[in-house]
């Protein structure tokens, strides 16, 4: 069985975010199944390190903005690797919509040198895992080198302990408040959500920087979540957590997983999330 090295800009030890939680859950799940798992920050990876990597190593690349172009090109020809794509790193803005909003023209990053290198990086990967079907289709349309048969939709991944914790509190008594993420992210600013709450006379509360389990408890005792990003959000973990905790959801078309079959009901959401780690690692057992 190959050793699996995860390369990522940031891990959970660097700060809590949806991508970091999913990466950690995948690594924990793999270690529990007997896979040898290691982690290296993207910025520390060099061609010299890769040249000394043994043949029985498979590299799993997560967020890779800090991975050098030289390293990506070297990996295309010399490494066994997969990619977990959390957003749209083909684009300089990591968002096709934000690119168009800022530049006034549709994203054409795939035609630039950096975009061509990233396209090749996708194309040479053994497997590319996506967060949602819509995200996969948008990137496939931009990257002819990427073959659909080498792609799979994974979605966010949770560890078993967090799933059990959410299940234990999902029926908590709820108040009348809707939660809104207090974010200044260019993809998911709180502005539209706050405006929606005020226009519809909804009681709301802004939330930010809560310890993870405190956040889950807060959602389990709140009526709902308002989440209205201004650009494609591939598979927002907060929305999945709110669904599993019984919240009423007010979403828009930019929540890219919202119409997938597994997300239609709370029970199917738990079932789907419980299968994600197995889905990922079963591929590497082959």
- Flag whether 284 is in a domain: no
Q: Give the mean pLDDT of 250-265.
A: 98
| pLDDT reported for residue 56 | 85
pLDDT digits (tens, 9 = 90+) for 11-57: 999 988 899 999 999 999 999 999 999 999 999 999 998 988 867 89
Q: 77 with 196, same domain?
A: no
User: E strands within the chain?
Assistant: 3-8, 36-41, 57-61, 81-85, 127-130, 151-153, 178-181, 204-207, 224-227, 248-251
Percent share of the chain, pLDDT over 90? 93
pLDDT digits (tens, 9 = 90+) for 78-90: 999 999 999 999 9
Residue 75 — φ and ψ, nearest 5°?
-65, -35
Q: 238 with 127, same domain?
A: no
| pLDDT reported for residue 254 | 98
pLDDT digits (tens, 9 = 90+) for 112-136: 999 999 999 999 999 999 999 999 9
Q: 72 with 195, same domain?
A: no
| pLDDT reported for residue 52 | 84
- Flag whether 122 is in a domain: yes
Percent share of the chain, pLDDT over 70? 99
Domain CATH number, residue 13: 3.40.50.2000
| pLDDT reported for residue 28 | 96
CA atoms within 13 A on the CB side of 63: 18
Instruction: Please report which confidence band the pLDDT of residue 152 belongs to, taking 50, 70 and 90 as the band edges.
Output: very high
Q: Name the average pLDDT for the chain.
A: 96
Last residue of a domain, one of 109, 124, 154: 154
| pLDDT reported for residue 95 | 97
Q: Give the mean pLDDT of 130-159.
A: 97
**118, 146 contact by CB (below 8 A):** no
Number of structural domains found in the chain = 2
Q: 149 with 175, same domain?
A: no
Distance, first Cα to last Cα, the chain: 10
Give strand pairing partners of 83.
61, 128
Tell whether the model's pLDDT for residue 178 goes beyond 80.
Answer: yes
Q: 196 with 116, same domain?
A: no
Q: What is the domain range of residue 9? A: 3-154
Q: 32 with 144, same domain?
A: yes
- Flag whether 102 is in a domain: yes
Cα–Cα distance, 234 to 175 (Å, whole number): 29
- Flag whether 282 is in a domain: no
Q: 12 with 54, same domain?
A: yes
| pLDDT reported for residue 1 | 66
Q: 52 with 131, same domain?
A: yes
| pLDDT reported for residue 286 | 72
| Three-state SS sequence of 55-122 | CCEEEEECCCCCCCHHHHHHHHHHCCEEEEECCCCCCCCCCHHHHHHHHCCCCCHHHCHHHHHHHHHH
| pLDDT reported for residue 263 | 98
| pLDDT reported for residue 249 | 98
Q: 29 with 125, same domain?
A: yes
Q: 149 with 196, same domain?
A: no
Give strand pairing partners of 60.
6, 82
Handedness of CA 25, 31, 35, 38 (dihedral sign): positive
Last residue of a domain, one of 128, 154, 180: 154
Cα–Cα distance, 110 to 122 (Å, whole number): 12
Q: Helix, strand, coil proportions of the chain in percent (round to 5)?
A: 45, 15, 40
pLDDT digits (tens, 9 = 90+) for 190-199: 999 999 999 9
């Amino acid at each position: 069985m190959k050793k699996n090295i995860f390369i990522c800009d940031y891990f959970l030890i660097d700060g809590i975010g949806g991508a970091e939680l999913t990466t950690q859950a995948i690594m924990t799940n793999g270690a529990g199944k007997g896979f040898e798992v290691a982690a290296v920050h993207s910025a520390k990876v060099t061609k010299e390190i890769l040249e000394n990597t043994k043949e029985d190593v498979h590299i799993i690349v997560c967020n890779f903005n800090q991975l050098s172009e030289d390293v990506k090109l070297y990996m295309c020809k010399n490494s066994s690797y997969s990619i977990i794509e959390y957003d749209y790193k083909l684009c300089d803005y990591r968002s096709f919509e934000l690119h168009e909003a800022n530049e006034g023209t549709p994203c054409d990053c795939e035609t630039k040198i950096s975009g061509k290198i990233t396209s090749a990086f996708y194309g040479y990967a053994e497997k590319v895992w996506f967060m949602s079907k819509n995200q996969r289709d948008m990137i496939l349309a931009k990257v002819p080198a990427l073959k659909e048969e080498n792609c799979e939709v994974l979605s966010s991944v949770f560890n078993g302990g967090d799933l059990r914790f959410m299940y234990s509190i999902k029926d908590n008594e709820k108040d009348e408040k809707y939660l809104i993420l207090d974010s200044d992210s260019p993809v998911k600013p709180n502005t539209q959500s706050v405006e929606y709450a005020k226009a519809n006379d909804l009681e709301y509360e802004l939330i930010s920087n809560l310890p993870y389990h405190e956040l889950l408890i807060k959602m389990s005792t709140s009526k709902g979540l308002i989440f209205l990003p201004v650009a494609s959000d591939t598979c927002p973990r907060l929305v999945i957590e709110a669904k599993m905790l019984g919240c009423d959801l007010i979403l828009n078309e930019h929540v890219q997983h919202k119409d997938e079959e597994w997300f239609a009901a709370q029970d199917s959401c738990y079932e789907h999330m419980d299968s994600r780690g197995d889905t990922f690692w079963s591929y590497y057992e082959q």
